[in-house]
Structure 1
Amino acid sequence: MQAANGRYYNQQGETLGKGFARYPLQRQARVSSPFNPNRRHPVTGRIRPHKGVDFSVSQGTPVIAPADGTVEKVAYQAGGAGRYVMLRHGREYQNCLYAFEQIPSKSRANS
């Protein structure tokens, strides 16, 4: 939850570090597919939830973590998300950044 000071805290009152950025990019970009629990898939035509937000950016655009956190997983999902990074922010929050052309070598999961 966001407090009046702009920081985010979990239910125990522990800070999650700096507030979450609205976009995982250095500047705002066009949203090509918003979060939508009843989205019609553009290829299959089926109604399926789209549980993320897609941004239209040029290939090679740098992506930034939306908040302080640690890299939990760097992986590849064939036939779907492609290359992705899973981030953990405190104990309760996580997010995934998908569809990377390549993932920088310093983006490694903590052991």
Structure 2
Amino acid sequence: MSWNLYIGSDTENSPLGEATAIQKAFNEVFDSLEWEQLIPSDECSLNVHGGFSIEFTKAGDHYESAMTRGGYNHLKELAMICKQFGWQLFDCQEGEQLDLENPYSLYE
């Protein structure tokens, strides 16, 4: 089980989407997120309930991809957002894509 998850588009070389829409979606699911505007990326952190941080790679006003540090305790919520936007969720250590319908199945 990895604490590093990659979030990417289902379509090769396609961005995740418009940054403000993605931030809104994450804020609706995780009401305690803290955001930092960095260059050339943005980062959010959830510092409660076995939290995580996510660094979004930015290109203009769009996010290209994202990488988490942590997130195991919130796989269902992360998978839900990935389904909403048509993204993939990939466990970097295991080298496998997570099943968005049952994200914990990889670890059973």
TM-score of the alignment, normalized to the shorter chain, above 0.5? no
TM superposition score normalised by structure 1: 0.30
Greater Cα radius of gyration, structure 1 or 2: 1
Query: TM-score under structure 2 normalisation?
Result: 0.31
